[in-house]
Structure formats: C-alpha cells, structure tokens
Amino acid sequence: MTVTARFFAVFRERLGGSHARVEVEPGTTVAGLWEKVTAGRPDVAAMRSITRFAVNGSYAEFHAELHDGDEVAFLPPMSGG
C-alpha cells in the first residue's frame, strides 16, 4: 500500500523535500513509517522524542495503524508568539 509522508520545517530541510510517497506493508503503523523514512538518517531519527504526527489531519499516536492512501504529517516542535 502507499502512504504520503508530509515533511514540515526541519524535516523538509533535512529530507530534501516537502513530501514522499512511501510503499509500506499492510498493518504498518506510524512507527513503521517513521523507521522507513528515517532509515540511514540518524540526524532525523534522533528527533523522534520531539516529533508529533498527524494522520489525515488528526493528531495520531506512534502506534496508529495506517491505511492505503493515508497522509502522515511529521510535525516538529513549534515556537513563537
């Protein structure tokens, strides 16, 4: 199945684009997608503890199961006022 990973701010900069279409196995979770996207990228993988995720526009937990066509946003911490 195919999902779209959307990258914002530092993820966009470090991963070289705003999104990627990723082939994953049925039953893959947000965690599995994270592992696949950050494989070979320890600079990005190290950001796991400060990253939030949204699936199809709603915040999601790391264990949330993905479905074909889902869009997963990788959201770094935001600051400002």
Per-residue model confidence (pLDDT) at position 80: 55
Task: Kindly state the tokens that stand for 62.
Answer: 């790391």
Q: What burial class does residue 70 get, using C-beta atoms within 10 Å of its C-beta: 0-12 exposed, 13-18 middle, 19+ buried? A: buried
Per-residue model confidence (pLDDT) at position 65: 98
CATH of domain 2-75: 3.10.20.30
Structural domain spans, the chain: 2-75
Percent of the chain at pLDDT exceeding 90: 93
What's 75's DSSP letter? E
Cα separation, 81 vs 6, in Å, equals: 24
pLDDT higher than threshold 70 for residue 42: yes
Task: Tell me if 53 sits within 8 A of 75, measured CB to CB.
Answer: yes
Cα separation, 76 vs 65, in Å, equals: 21
pLDDT higher than threshold 70 for residue 81: no
For residue range 2-32, list pLDDT tens digits in order: 999 999 999 999 999 999 999 999 999 999 9
